Amino acid sequence: MLQLFFLLTLIPFIELYLLFKFTERFDFGTTVLMIVGTGMLGAYLSKRQGAQAMLEIRRQMSQGQMPTEALFDGMMIFIAGILLVTPGVLTDFLGLLLLVPPIRRVMRIILVAEFKRRTVMHVHTTFTSSVQQPIQPRPDSDIIDAEFERHSDPPLPPPKLD
């Protein structure tokens, strides 16, 4: 819940603060041009890198390989594109960072380690023995205990059509 509060409240305030600081340092026109320019550059770069990631995914799948790294790159490029199209200095900076392949590799390592840390794997093993003991069903259960044997039955005669 705190992360959602952070995303929806704190980031827009940081973006506004940075935009005001940029407008103080440069003029308003330069700030708007920078925001529009990074949005256009980000859209172009994410489209280009996204197409390359799709080609790599298809190539690996046609070779029978699981394209995990290419899928992760595609996801990061998609997120970068969203961040770059979103107006703001911080989102543009984060989006441009995600378009750099070495930074994506580091992000992949960090996120996989975090996923492994948060994931708990439970393994249940059942052993059977050659000594079988009858199982007593509970009186309130709908378990029907039965045994069967397969016998070869003679074939049925064909149906009569009248």
φ, ψ dihedrals at 29, nearest 5°: -60, -40
Total domain count for the chain? 1
**pLDDT by residue (tens digit) across 82-129?**
888 888 888 888 998 999 999 999 998 998 888 888 876 655 555 555
* 146 in any annotated domain: no
Give a yes or no: residue 126 inside a domain: no
| CA gap 66, 69 in Å, rounded | 9
Could you list the residue range(s) of the whole structural domain that residue 108 is in?
A: 9-118
Domain membership of residue 83 (yes or no) is: yes
Helices 11-25, 28-62: crossing angle, 10 deg rounding:
130
Residue 141 lies in a domain: no
Answer yes or no: is 151 within a domain.
no
CA distance 54 to 59: 9
Cα 137 to Cα 26: distance, rounded to the nearest angstrom: 80
- Whether 50 maps to a domain, the answer reads yes
DSSP string, 14-34: HHHHHHHHHHHHS-HHHHHHH
pLDDT value at residue 89:
85
pLDDT tens across 54-91, in order? 999 999 989 988 888 899 999 999 999 888 888 888 88
Q: Is residue 150 part of a domain?
A: no
Rg (CA), the chain: 31
Angle at 119 between CA 104 and CA 117, to 5 degrees: 60
